[in-house]
Amino acid sequence: MSSDQPIPTYYPYNPSHVLPIVFAVLIGGSLAPHIWQNFRYHYWRVTFFMFWGGLVYMTGWILRCLSSYHPGNKNLYLAQTVFVLAGPPIYSAAEYNILGRLMRYVPMHAAINPTRIVIFFVYVGAAVEGLTVAGAARMGAAGENQALLKSGAVLVAIGTTMQAAVELVFVAMIAQLHYRCVKSNMNIRNVRNVCIMLYGTSTLVLLRCIFRGIEKFATADIVKTGTCGALCRTVILKEWYLYVFEAAPMVVYTYWLNFIHPAMFLPRKSTYYLGKDLVIRNGPGWVDGRASWVTFFDPCDIRGTADKFWLRPDEWPVVSTGDVEPKSHSNA
């Protein structure tokens, strides 16, 4: 091959060799504390997805670094695309678990069965993940097949749009719970810090979703029109947009949960709840005697059949006063 011939590449620019490894190191620097924190606080059931998402996301940036040295290698390009796109939806699943645990902590203000909210968001998240991975795989395998490239871009765009819609619903549920806590004078430091953390991390996910949606709809438009317009030249032909609107928000997200880890504010035991007198008690946990299929179709319990155990505080042993860090009794 003549030295003046262009090197085959799947990238519309010369990909950076340094930035992918920088972000892989940053993600790894957050992943290690997440593993330690989960062991330290015995919180795997709530924040396991921070470990899994971090592992997937870090792998994606390592693969992108390798791919940047071999831009014409289809398998490397496909692998890095799939892993980088797959990480953030897994991260989001940790948020859903945290909101479920917060609802168990203040059950009188939960608008929905905490168990059902986790199932709903995780299953929707799995659908988003499936669409994203399928779309990324199609795009990576498309080559010159314009129809396959377009369908892949559309799938990724639909997946990120769905994730953005889910995040908006998620934020609305946080706001409703937070508002009820404020109105009932239960907005103690523990509750307030968790709500602020969830508002912030959801905003970061939304920012990333908006960028990815714009990017993939622009890709679909290129396939349709055969031209690269102003939007294409902005978000597709400039690599730094990927790091500013994809990588950076997720790095902030994962470190935020390192510094404001939910185990520092919410108890490990799901039966511990905060009473209206700001005393933490060990109750029976969320009890819903209805059939599973009924709770699926009516997660909000419109008829109010769930056991309102918080109305009988004298039946449950006191664990601690309310405005303390649950880590002091998380192993009780």
The CATH number of the domain holding residue 203 is 1.20.1070
Domain assignment of residue 274, yes or no: no
Q: How many CB atoms lie within 10 A of CB 101?
A: 25
Phi, psi of 15, deg, nearest 5: -65, 145
Domain assignment of residue 275, yes or no: no
Domain assignment of residue 305, yes or no: no
Domain assignment of residue 11, yes or no: no
Domain assignment of residue 6, yes or no: no
Number of domains in the chain: 1
pLDDT 10s per residue in the chain (332 long)? Answer: 344 555 678 888 899 999 999 999 999 999 999 999 999 999 998 999 999 999 999 999 999 999 999 999 989 998 998 899 889 988 988 998 999 999 999 999 988 878 777 677 767 767 776 777 777 777 666 666 677 777 777 777 777 778 788 889 889 999 999 999 999 999 999 999 999 999 999 999 999 888 887 877 777 677 667 777 777 777 888 899 999 999 999 999 999 999 999 999 999 888 999 999 999 999 998 776 666 666 666 666 656 667 788 999 999 999 875 544 454 444 33
Size (the chain), residues: 332
Q: 3-class secondary structure for the chain?
A: CCCCCCCCCCCCCCCCCHHHHHHHHHHHHHHHHHHHHHHHHCCHHHHHHHHHHHHHHHHHHHHHHHHHHCCCCHHHHHHHHHHHHHHHHHHHHHHHHHHHHHHHHCHHHCCCCHHHHHHHHHHHHHHHHHHHHHHHHHHHHHCCCHHHHHHHHHHHHHHHHHHHHHHHHHHHHHHHHHHHHHHCCCCCHHHHHHHHHHHHHHHHHHHHHHHHHHHHHHHHHHHHHCCCCHHHHHHCCCCHHHHHHHHHHHHHHHHHHHHCCHHHCCCCCCCEEECCCCEEEECCCCCCCCCHHHHHHCCCCCCCCCCCHHHCHHHCCEEEECCCCHHHCCCC
Note down the domain range covering 85.
17-267
Domain assignment of residue 317, yes or no: no
Domain assignment of residue 164, yes or no: yes
Domain assignment of residue 331, yes or no: no
Q: Which two tokens stand for residue 63?
A: 């693969």
